[in-house]
Amino acid sequence: MTMDWTVIALLPLLCGLFFQLLDLTCAQSSTITVRDGSKIFYKDWGTGQPIVFSHGAPLSADDWDAQMFFFGTHGFRVVAHDRRGHGRSSQPFNGHDMDTYSDDLATLIEYLNLTNIILIGHSTGGGEITRYMGRHRTKRIAKAVLIASVPPHLAAAVPMQVFDGFRAALLADRSQFYKDTTIPFYGYNRAGANKSQGVIDHFWAQCVQGSKKAHYDEIIALSETDFTADLQRIDRPLLVMQGDDDQVVPFPASGQLQAQLVRNAQLKLYPGFPHGMCTTHADVINNDILAFIQQAPRDLLFQTRSSKRSDATNVHPCADEPFQIYGEYTITDAKSQGRFIIIRPMKM
């Protein structure tokens, strides 16, 4: 048998072309096209109950690496996308507002057909998921987590000159602006902080991938959007997490108000933690989120004329989902009278 040395010589080239095509196929499978033609990049790892992450400004899905690895290895399906104008997603000139961000997120969730979702947002990403739950409702959501997030309305509590300064610095020298931002973002200007050059470099690398126009408009979106009505529409268990030394999104203007506006919200305030605590204190944050996910659902109390399911459906905010009746009792005090039932959504 004769050896075809030409074929053997071409094998490395053919293998290289094969793996290039394989990489291209994988890349194509990790983007979706949204309504205006923009492509949204996303990561989708693992199997199990889905956790969907929305990143802060002006970062990318890579900022969730510590959380995605942790929850992926704990049996969850983890999904994170690059917001339009960020990371590997398209850089359209327009559409950098909370309505469009939430619509893009809805398109991704529907494309992947995700249900029973744990929805988690950090900083601006917290605004995105809040607007999603207000605009697209919570049919697909089991629980939500807001981490150092911008709602309800930063511009109502923080002087507009602060955000004007951010935009001016971005336009003047955005690379330096990103480098300067890392210091208060991770609390590296505090005594005893464990400063990491790797974290600083990773932050900068994510930022410069994005669009200058997108980041400029995003400052307007995160500061001037009023999320009050969106928060009030949240009818799922919510965990609010924030450090009391957050130098980017002040706690009294954000987490404190979120916990007051959302019924049955749980608040965890961390002494000394910075805005970027998902990175600096990943072990603490990850385990607290896991405990919240695993937490037994709280009984929900609704008034009804009887214990019949048909009556409960009229007042249950998740009426299109299965639920069980756990008990009933009567209240006859001066402020509220009538029969009540305790119900619990079966998916939660």
Name the residues annotated as catalytic. 123, 246, 275
Spatial CB neighbours of 317, under 8 Å, sequence gap ≥ 6: 235
d(Cα 167, Cα 11) in Å, to the nearest integer? Answer: 53
Is residue 142 a contact partner of residue 116, using CB atoms and an 8 Å limit?
A: yes
CA angle 263/269/270 to nearest 5° reads 160
Is residue 247 a contact partner of residue 183, using CB atoms and an 8 Å limit?
A: no
The two three-digit tokens of residue 314, written as one number: 């009229």
Tell me the CA end-to-end span of the chain in Å, nearest whole number. Answer: 67
Angular region, 335: left φ>0, alpha ψ -120 to 50, beta rest: alpha
Is residue 336 a contact partner of residue 309, using CB atoms and an 8 Å limit?
A: no
Instruction: Identify whether 159 is preceded by a cis peptide bond (ω within 30 of 0).
Output: no
d(Cα 292, Cα 76) in Å, to the nearest integer? Answer: 14
Q: For the chain, state the CA radius of gyration.
A: 23
